[in-house]
Structure 1
């Protein structure tokens, strides 16, 4: 059967696996209908597909797993069904889990049996629950299984048995896929699943994982979401796959210590050397381990029957992507999106001058924001949203970027010569970085916009000179306390949650050292000299409560290419207090009535 003759129905299409299956089917030219519980979930799927170049959304059908017909809409010509529905959630009651994962399977198989042209029903099971004996369960067996495994895993075990038994009884042609931990897309790392392995990756990122669970043989295999989806979409095309179950996972996935060490090396953090045996984990209180007891059964040294999956993939020319590369890209995506706390927006890591660098905004945009202290690129998100063609990058060692102050020369050179940066917007310490870059590459940097340039303003008070005291404060400050200190108003605390998280993760020390350096007269004078030598246009933006020094004003007065913009009622952090005014000023100086401007130097 050709792709144009196929009509696929995807259940659970708005879920992580389901939407990748829809994408793979559409890319293969297969007509797709999706069955969602609500139009809202369908719209989320349609938007997700549109961002990947599929503007023509699949057919939208409603599903009711408790209703007599299951699906509202015409499905008579459906040739294949992909059942990706179910609940992936720990902490459910047995009844809740059975309703979500067992009763739905019965309903799907019964529905499939009524379709006249069905060639295959593909069921998503699991690598530790697949391959069950389809014999009916006794009440005692069910009670023991749910008690031993927990509601979630036990419901998936029971669902696997029920699926096989019901499909055989009703004569439904079936295939089962038993995926391991499904991580991000192999090309982009994209994933919005934050349970299981992802939670340990988060602990590695934050430096809060005290010990690796399990031992040297603990094996938690992975598979890339796009590979799994492509594997599934091939099953209905192969008659030999009918009545077969497959474990599509990489046998060469590093064992748990090796996987976490790989992530730690990529994050440039330390992986814990200590090991904590699973039997001990099960005895420790949950408040101490921070692990759901249901997840502990996945910490096993078991291996799985993968030969048939490898043979199937090879027969169809499907190559599994490199596992280590996929893990790194997945880890990048999780961190860039702050493990679900920043799910939207264009966020990524790049390597600039050998430094792993966080970047927010339009890739390759010519306008680049270099944030100040002690905040990060995320605080500039509202400003970027109001602009076009702009991005913000965390300086080395600040925000979510790796590196140190010593990396500035090579990092700035890579920024302006390799990424298309032409207009540098430097805030506070970022203004220093912008001037350094312009001095090194005056022919490449076409424009400077300096927001609250510290070297043209009064130096900070005595506490800033002590890196130790500053570090102690910043590593303990709450968002409310930091908002009040930076803006005088706790209303801006929400915008500082990510900055506080970065400071506590370890950037407080680098921030404190840099803040102390800003008090050094020699560096301030050197930056002023370099600014005077820069031949391009210079726009200075300050808040009315954070003025320039008389010396700074005199310096700018001597520059024929300088414009100063003063934002009324703003302080040192206008990106927090006046983001829209700031965006408008950067885009077109003096274009808003809320801002007064003066021309310094000759007209």
Structure 2
């Protein structure tokens, strides 16, 4: 079967593309930006990407911007999935009409043409849970239920009503899918779209939510991205389907209230808990009066916070028929929040190919397939998995797993009483899931974690590489995590750069230093990451954090690499019996000099 898909490079569209093609369907994807499309398709398996045919066009143009030849090609498809349209609640009236209502009219004309020629099996339209239309009221006045909706919602819902009316006249089966606020994948939590829940996460992390909109009466319906894709794929495979509306959300009774949701976000981000509530209408009026513009919180974002339930019978009927559920995975919500926090911290960040972002146990990883035993890399404090990507890229095809330790990077905060113990448990659980012993390398704070992991599961460690490991207590000036956190919050790039140079790092400055300093300062603006770094530094002042038994370690398994320019580096006597190598760099040598670090790892550990 051939499917014509719009919005293939969007947040939802990419997931649809992957899911639908994996089921063996041939997809004609309407594409305005070919480079962006190729980037999306490159992330799919080759066997899947071969089933995708890009069709150059533009939803906002007459006849969808298609050439005559391409219009004929898509007129031979069996089904239309319309997932196109921007996620921009601030669109003006003219822009919104071009983005939603105009494409609906063009697609309706195409659908009728296909239906007359061969019979259109189904038209699937992704709208949104706030649309006021269903199979009954859409056949009356289109504007009756829109009230004072802003341009974005008005045009989007007018397009909903228009398609319902146009396709009804020709008896074309129309499945209207109304996703609620779409959040990250139900396993990994990856949420590329910073609108929706991202607006709320950003407000909470900036301590702008002391009052909960609606308190316990209101809620924010949410659905996972992969659940949207799988539900639509199940609609595609449903034979003899009749027109219906499907709300992709959980019943209100099983969902967190706004108070519970904001408390969860505040807990994950280590920010101030809410102290009261405010009526959404009052808050919306305040935001619309100019406060929202100054705070970066559009008043329209409150439209998705509701105090009513929605019908889910049609959705559950499809789920029961295909044996798949679309319920919110509450244990994944912390990963969604951490991922959004990281993306808000680094708005331009992207996982470099061929690495893939995954979730393993309590942590998020960046992984690359390759040959040989897995190489597991642990970053230090004031760092994350991303900072070690340049080292991993130079490991000549070895399978590599870069871990964001709990509370760092994209991983949710530690929930235990000790960050160090939680890190050790998370890495231990990850290695236990792998099919063979690993090469484990840790830098600085990550070196301490790696050493503790090896003591716990020594048979699972093929080799242990300690890169400038912290193996003795730090200065007592870091003892108070609260004071350290306050200092880190106010830390300037110039001061941080100066400290690096004093420690022997980046003596000549340059782009690598500038990039590391800028990334670190941005991360310290995240309360979650700042709290974790301050906690780590506090724990590293305590003698009990370094309870290790190096006399029991296998000397053939353990190697150390130190940066000889770091004058403050000290290796306690029990650790000096191991094979120790040096590089002419400072403490941050894996970041300052990734190539020599990778060369040493290849020759000393992987040979």
Asked if structure 2 preserves the Cα contact closer than 8 Å seen for 1:102 and 1:158, the reply is yes
Residue 430 of structure 2 corresponds to residue 435 of structure 1: no
Asked if structure 1 preserves the Cα contact closer than 8 Å seen for 2:447 and 2:466, the reply is yes
Q: For 1:588-603, what aligned pairs fall within 5 Å after superposition?
A: 588-589=603-604
More divergent stretch after superposition (442-451 vs 236-245): 236-245
Which residue does the alignment assign to 1:500? 521
Asked if structure 1 preserves the Cα contact closer than 8 Å seen for 2:75 and 2:110, the reply is no
**Matched position secondary structure for 1:149:** coil
Which residue does the alignment assign to 1:418? 432
Cα 1:317–1:97, aligned 2, differ >3 Å: closer, same or farther? same
Which residue does the alignment assign to 1:564? 581
Q: Which runs of 5+ in 2 are unaligned?
A: none
Which residue does the alignment assign to 1:62? 56
Which residue does the alignment assign to 2:390? 382
Which residue does the alignment assign to 1:113? 112
Which residue does the alignment assign to 2:138? 133
TM-score, normalised via structure 2 length: 0.79
How far the C-alpha of 1:571 sits from its partner, in A, is 1.4
More divergent stretch after superposition (194-203 vs 82-91): 194-203
In structure 1, what is the Cα distance between the partners aligned to 2:195 and 2:388? Answer: 29
Cα 1:208–1:402, aligned 2, differ >3 Å: closer, same or farther? farther
How far the C-alpha of 1:307 sits from its partner, in A, is 2.8
How far the C-alpha of 1:581 sits from its partner, in A, is 2.0
In structure 2, what is the Cα distance between the partners aligned to 1:363 and 1:121? Answer: 39
Cα 1:435–1:17, aligned 2, differ >3 Å: closer, same or farther? closer
Residue 463 of structure 2 corresponds to residue 475 of structure 1: no
How far the C-alpha of 1:300 sits from its partner, in A, is 2.3
The structure number with the bigger radius of gyration is 1
Which residue does the alignment assign to 1:150? 150
How far the C-alpha of 1:97 sits from its partner, in A, is 0.6
**Matched position secondary structure for 2:44:** helix
Which residue does the alignment assign to 2:311? 305
**Matched position secondary structure for 1:156:** helix
Identify the match of residue 350 of structure 2 among 343, 350, 353: 343
Which residue does the alignment assign to 2:228? 228
Cα 1:282–1:207, aligned 2, differ >3 Å: closer, same or farther? closer
Residue 560 of structure 2 corresponds to residue 540 of structure 1: yes
More divergent stretch after superposition (275-284 vs 202-211): 202-211
Cα displacement string for residues 435-485 of structure 1 (whole angstroms, at most 9, x for unaligned residues): 3444455554443322224559xx977856776764443222134542342
Residue 330 of structure 2 corresponds to residue 324 of structure 1: yes
TM-score, normalised via structure 1 length: 0.80
In structure 2, what is the Cα distance between the partners aligned to 1:465 and 1:304? Answer: 52
Asked if structure 2 preserves the Cα contact closer than 8 Å seen for 1:435 and 1:531, the reply is no
Which residue does the alignment assign to 2:44? 49
Residue 590 of structure 2 corresponds to residue 575 of structure 1: yes
More divergent stretch after superposition (318-327 vs 373-382): 318-327
Cα displacement string for residues 563-601 of structure 1 (whole angstroms, at most 9, x for unaligned residues): 4122x3x2111122212222222222499xxxxxxxxxx
Cα 1:411–1:64, aligned 2, differ >3 Å: closer, same or farther? closer
Asked if structure 1 preserves the Cα contact closer than 8 Å seen for 2:414 and 2:422, the reply is no
Cα 1:108–1:209, aligned 2, differ >3 Å: closer, same or farther? same
Asked if structure 2 preserves the Cα contact closer than 8 Å seen for 1:175 and 1:245, the reply is yes
Cα 1:121–1:453, aligned 2, differ >3 Å: closer, same or farther? closer
Which residue does the alignment assign to 1:81? 80
Q: Please report the RMSD computed on the Cα atoms of aligned residues, expressed in angstroms.
A: 4.0
Cα 1:350–1:234, aligned 2, differ >3 Å: closer, same or farther? closer
In structure 1, what is the Cα distance between the partners aligned to 2:406 and 2:127? Answer: 44
In structure 1, what is the Cα distance between the partners aligned to 2:302 and 2:530? Answer: 35
In structure 2, what is the Cα distance between the partners aligned to 1:259 and 1:520? Answer: 35
How far the C-alpha of 1:538 sits from its partner, in A, is 3.6
How far the C-alpha of 1:79 sits from its partner, in A, is 1.3
Q: For 1:359-370, what aligned pairs fall within 5 Å after superposition?
A: 359-362=365-368, 366-370=374-378
Cα 1:329–1:49, aligned 2, differ >3 Å: closer, same or farther? same
More divergent stretch after superposition (251-260 vs 80-89): 251-260
Number of positions where the alignment pairs a residue of Structure 1 with one of Structure 2: 567
Cα displacement string for residues 279-338 of structure 1 (whole angstroms, at most 9, x for unaligned residues): 221232115654212222222213323333333443455543455356456446545666
Cα 1:482–1:124, aligned 2, differ >3 Å: closer, same or farther? same
**Matched position secondary structure for 2:85:** coil
Residue 8 of structure 2 corresponds to residue 8 of structure 1: no
Cα displacement string for residues 535-560 of structure 1 (whole angstroms, at most 9, x for unaligned residues): 234433233422587x859987x73x
Cα displacement string for residues 398-427 of structure 1 (whole angstroms, at most 9, x for unaligned residues): 665415684545753663462556433232
Q: For 1:443-482, what aligned pairs fall within 5 Å after superposition?
A: 443-455=459-471, 470-482=484-496
In structure 2, what is the Cα distance between the partners aligned to 1:370 and 1:269? Answer: 26
How far the C-alpha of 1:70 sits from its partner, in A, is 4.5
In structure 1, what is the Cα distance between the partners aligned to 2:41 and 2:126? Answer: 22
Which residue does the alignment assign to 1:254? 256
In structure 2, what is the Cα distance between the partners aligned to 1:506 and 1:499? Answer: 13
Cα 1:297–1:429, aligned 2, differ >3 Å: closer, same or farther? closer
Cα displacement string for residues 477-514 of structure 1 (whole angstroms, at most 9, x for unaligned residues): 13454234223537424334454354441555664565
In structure 2, what is the Cα distance between the partners aligned to 1:260 and 1:324? Answer: 14
Residue 499 of structure 2 corresponds to residue 485 of structure 1: yes
More divergent stretch after superposition (104-113 vs 513-522): 513-522
More divergent stretch after superposition (94-103 vs 476-485): 476-485
Cα 1:536–1:209, aligned 2, differ >3 Å: closer, same or farther? farther
How far the C-alpha of 1:103 sits from its partner, in A, is 0.7
**Matched position secondary structure for 1:54:** helix
Q: Which runs of 5+ in 1 are unaligned?
A: 1-5, 592-603
In structure 2, what is the Cα distance between the partners aligned to 1:419 and 1:500? Answer: 34
How far the C-alpha of 1:278 sits from its partner, in A, is 1.0
How far the C-alpha of 1:153 sits from its partner, in A, is 0.7
